[in-house]
Amino acid sequence: MVILDDTGKIKEIDRSGMLRTVEEFPRQCRDAVSLGEEVKLSEDLKKVSSLAVLGMGGSGIGGDLLKTIVESESKLSVSVVKGYDLPRHIDSDTLVFAVSYSGETEETLSVFAQAIDRRAKIIAITSGGSLQEQAARNGFSTIKVPTGYQPRAALGFLFLPMLIVLSRLGLISSQEAAVSEALGLLAALSSRFSSKQPVSENSAKQLAGELLGKFPVIYGSDGLTAPAALRWKCQLDENSKVQAFWNVFPELNHNEIVGWELLKELTRNFVLVFLRDKKEHPRIAKRMEITRELISGHVGAIHQVWCEGKSRLAKILSVLYQGDFVSVYLALLNGADPTPVDRIRLLKERLAGNW
C-alpha cells in the first residue's frame, strides 16, 4: 500500500500517466461540454422519434450512461448497439450517434454503414480514422475529440457532448444545472481521491488495497448505477488487468445470488462492491441488506460506494469516477502499467488482416 503514496514509484509504473489523466477528468468534462455546445446542428436532427448510440467498449459505455439519463426524463428510447448488426427499428426517424474513439472499430463501422443505408440522422464522435472520413464524405455533423487518449480514458469527450447536443436540439430538457453540479462535484472528488491524498485519507486507495489479490464483483442497481457498475468492471479489467464481474439489483436476486452457495473456499476470493444511492428504491435498499446477510459468509468482503450529488448525472458520474481511481490504484498495487491493453491491440491486429 505504501507505494500508492510514493510519487516516484507511481511514475515508474504508470509510464503513460493514466493516473494524471484520471485526475484531470473534470477538466476533460468541461472541454467536452464545449465540444457539444460548438458542433453545428441542422434543424432536421430535431425530427426524430428515437435515439441510438453505436459504439464498443470505452466508446460504447457513454451510450449506456446516456440511456440511463435520457430514458428517465424523456419519452425517447435509446438503443445502445454493440455489435455488427443494426436493429431493424433504427431508421430515418432515429438520431444515431456513431461513436468510435479511433474511428476504426469494425463493429461500429459496420452498423454505421447500415445506419447510412437506412437514412438515419447521424452525428459522429471520433478522434479521426475511417469514421471521420466517412462522416465528412456524407456531410454528417462530427464531434472531433482530441487525440492521444486511450478510448476509455476519453469518456468525458465521448459521452457529455451527446447530452449537450440532445438538450440543444430540444429532445431532452436543459442539462445546464445537472452539468454544472456534476462538474463541481467531479472537481471535488478529483482532489479527494488524488495521488496527493495519502492512503489513510483516501478511500479509493483503501478500496484498491481491499481488492488486491481478489476478484472484484461490482453490483449496481437497475436504472441508476447499472452503467457505472459496468464501467467499474471494464476499468478493473483494462486498467488493473484483473478479471472483474458485474451485475444489477434486483435481477441478480433471481439467479446470481444462488451462485454464492457452493465452492465457498473459492468464492471467498471474490470481493463485492455495492454501488449505492441514498435515494435508491427502498426495496432495492432492502434487497441489498438481505443479500448481504445471506452471502457475506461466502465472499471475501462486501464494500459499499455511494453516489454523491442530486442530479442523476452527478450521481452516476460521481460513483463511476471513484471506480476509475480504484482501478488505477489497483493497477499500481499490482505493479502493472494501467495504460496498455495488449490483448485488445493484438486481437484487433489479428482480425485486421483476416477478413
Residues in contact with ligand F6R by CB under 6 A are: 56-59, 100-102, 105, 108, 150-152, 238, 341, 344
CB of 234 vs ligand F6R, minimal distance in Å: 7
Give the CA radius of gyration of the chain: 20
Q: Find the shortest distance in angstroms from Cβ 238 to ligand F6R.
A: 6
Q: Which helix (H) or strand (E) holds 274?
A: strand 270-276
Question: Which residue in the list 23, 107, 181, 238 is annotated as catalytic?
Answer: 238
Question: Given the complex with ligand F6R, which of 59 and 134 has the nearer CB atom?
Answer: 59
Can you point out the beta strands (E) in 286-353? 301-306
Residue whose C-beta lies closest to ligand F6R: 57
Q: Can you spell out the DSSP letters for 17-69?
A: -HHHHHHTHHHHHHHHHHHHHHS---GGGG--SEEEEE--HHHHHHHHHHHHH
348 annotated active-site: yes
Find how far residue 25's CA is from the centre of its chain. 13
**Sheet hosting strand 94-100, strand order edge to edge:** 78-81, 50-54, 94-100, 121-126, 141-144
Q: Which residues contact 46 (CB under 8 A, 6 or more apart)?
A: 169, 170, 171
- Does residue 106 carry a catalytic annotation? no
Q: Which is nearer to ligand F6R, 156 or 300 (CB)?
A: 156
d(C-alpha 160, C-alpha 99), whole Å:
12
Residue 131 CB, shortest distance to ligand F6R, in Å, is 8
> Whole-number minimum distance, CB 59 to ligand F6R, in Å?
3
Q: 238 catalytic, yes or no?
A: yes
- Known catalytic residues? 238, 254, 348
